Amino acid sequence: MKHRKPNELHLKSHDRDHAHWDRRGFLRTLGMAGAGAISFGNSALSVVESPLLNQALSDAYSDRILVLIRLKGGNDGLNTIVPLNDFDLYANKRPKIHIPENKLYKLNNDFAIPNFMNSVAPMWGEGAMKVIHGVGYENQNLSHFKSSEIWATTTPASEISSGWMGRYYEGKYTDYMNNPPEKPLAIQIGGGGNMFFDGDLTTYSFSVSSPQRLKKVAENGTLYENQNNGNHLHGQQVSFLREASNTTFRYASVINEAYESSKAFDAYANDNFDLQMSLVSRFIKGGLGTKVYMVSLGGFDTHANQPTRHEALMTRLAKAIQTFYKDLDDYGMADKVLSMTFSEFGRRVAENGSSGTDHGSAAPIMLFGPALQGSGFVGKHPSLSALDKQGNMASGIDFRSVYASVLTDWLCANAFDVSNAINGPSHEILGLGLGCDGSEKLTMTDDPLLPLHAAVTTDEGISLYLSINEYANVEINVFDLLARKVGNTISSRLNSGKHNFSLIDTDTQSLPPGQYFYKITVNDYKTYSKSFLVK
């Protein structure tokens, strides 16, 4: 079976006149048009104005899935993404454990992965892998537990016991306890043990690793009345347990059905991590409709004997990711699934005396999935020489910006929900090549100053999406065909990442339909321009 059946619910939600569009066809159309302009029927539009079209767009984004891959113990970023551009220093600091040059696969001239991660090399080649350099946070905590907690709660404040995904769901599903959604919002494969999905009221994820067992629960389970348990600790514990029982029972059948109605893919290896990935795939293929999954791979705390251990782990990880996308691809689902690795910290630049590394700080995050539409790097690799007192690197990108970017540009969360989810310092939206409004059609380049840009129509007028990979001075002007300045002039110092500016405000700047240009000037010397239509 190559294609999954059309989603009937989705079709029902459409206006009858347009029921003959299938979403996939619509997306293809979007993709063909490129750069934010949309080819629609016979007319070239750069504007998205019909509410129907907006609805179709948001539907087109509604079946996106995020797979969070936790690398537990502190993954060594420097032996994952090896800095060729500083190779001598890297090798000097790690005489015993560096990956030698003849055992590297070059991603570009500056960075490489070890050969044992070759399984993901084809994904890099096909534009389905991005690496965010130097992710971490200020005042890195070197405790596994505290740092894992910080990655979950997004704050060092220990009185906060809810996680970012938990708060995101709590904000979105305010009536969750009385009116829970039909499908589990998130699934963790195997045990919980982290606070990502904990809200203040409840946990918004379902843990499963033996879906077969759920069949019996679905058949014999009971829903418990869960009111008036009292406010003392005993009552709270009873509420917690009754809620957990109810959740288990509530979702047992949909999960078991999704599992039973999908087929196993036989290329997965017989190990625990592959098993986790294969379960995620079966739930996705079985049409469960859950949007966020979390899997984990442990053993990254490589204080000793790192080369053998790290190689084994990264080989498994890379192979499992390759198999997972091959599996999904056969079902036409690969472009709907974004995977992201993360770890509580990286490791120290210099090796220790036991062929290992002690706890470090900044480390890369890897993203996988054809939806990324282009492989590349985001941010700057941290310096291997400008280290802190402990010999750790400085992070360039705060992990909260990564979360905010994924929420905003992959799960299509609005700014309010994102700010609910994420505590701590203000976050920026990174240019990951993702988006929920057509801006994801911006492709990546290797030139950090080359802006990626597209004009898109919004309710308020025409917006420009702009993405750069390095801090720069940017000026933007809008011209009509006679080279007269119209619309807004933007002049700004921009951080790396994605930005959105208003080019034309419909309310105040009513312009005749026709062709217009915008011109982007970067650091006063590089210019880029492009035309767009106002209808």
Site for other proteins contains 303 (CB under 8 A) = yes
Cα–Cα distance measured from residue 225 to residue 121, given in angstroms and rounded to the nearest whole number: 52
Draw the binding track, 415-454, toward other proteins (x: CB under 8 A; -: no contact): ----------------------------------------
Query: Of 33-41, 171-179, 210-218, 518-526, which part binds other proteins (CB under 8 A)?
Result: 210-218
Given 79, 80, 188, 463, the residue binding other proteins (CB under 8 A): 188
Cα–Cα distance measured from residue 274 to residue 468, given in angstroms and rounded to the nearest whole number: 36
Task: Record the tokens describing residue 394, joined without a space.
Answer: 């400085």
Provide the minimum distance between the beta carbon of 196 and other proteins in the complex, in angstroms, as a whole number: 13
Query: Of 54-62, 247-255, 315-323, 373-381, which part binds other proteins (CB under 8 A)?
Result: 247-255
Query: Of 83-91, 135-143, 449-457, 495-503, which part binds other proteins (CB under 8 A)?
Result: 135-143
Given 146, 263, 485, 535, the residue binding other proteins (CB under 8 A): 146
Site for other proteins contains 272 (CB under 8 A) = no
Query: Judged by CB under 8 A, how many residues of this single chain contact other proteins?
Result: 52
Phi-psi region of 35 (alpha: psi -120 to 50; beta: other; left: phi over 0): left
Answer whether 279's CB lies under 8 Å from 208's CB: yes
Helices (H), 36-158: 51-62, 87-93, 121-125, 144-153
Beta bridge partners of 494: 472
| Distance, CA of 460 to chain centre | 28
Given 5, 12, 20, 389, the residue binding other proteins (CB under 8 A): 389
Give the nearer residue to other proteins in terms of CB position, either 240 or 528: 240
Site for other proteins contains 260 (CB under 8 A) = no
Provide the minimum distance between the beta carbon of 225 and other proteins in the complex, in angstroms, as a whole number: 6
Provide the minimum distance between the beta carbon of 352 and other proteins in the complex, in angstroms, as a whole number: 5
Given 127, 171, 190, 448, the residue binding other proteins (CB under 8 A): 190
Beta pairing class for 376-378 and 129-136: parallel
Beta bridge partners of 527: 521
Closest C-alpha among 198, 244, 191, 201 to residue 221: 244
Ramachandran angles phi, psi of 364, nearest 5°:
-75, 150
- Between residue 476 and residue 535, which ones bind other proteins under the rule CB under 8 A? none
Answer whether 169's CB lies under 8 Å from 411's CB: no
Answer whether 100's CB lies under 8 Å from 84's CB: no
Give the nearer residue to other proteins in terms of CB position, either 21 or 240: 240
Site for other proteins contains 141 (CB under 8 A) = yes
Given 232, 266, 459, 508, the residue binding other proteins (CB under 8 A): 232
Closest C-alpha among 493, 488, 494, 495 to residue 518: 488
Site for other proteins contains 207 (CB under 8 A) = yes
Provide the minimum distance between the beta carbon of 403 and other proteins in the complex, in angstroms, as a whole number: 23
Question: How close are the terminal C-alpha atoms of the chain, in Å?
Answer: 43
Site for other proteins contains 298 (CB under 8 A) = yes
Give the side-chain half-sphere CA count within 13 A for 163. 20
Q: According to the 3-state scheme, what is the secondary structure of 373-386?
A: CCCEEECCCCCCCC
Interface residues toward other proteins, by CB under 8 A: 72-73, 141-146, 188, 190-193, 203, 206-210, 213-214, 216-217, 222, 224-225, 232-234, 237-238, 240-242, 244-245, 247-248, 251-252, 298, 301, 303-304, 352-354, 356, 358-359, 389-390
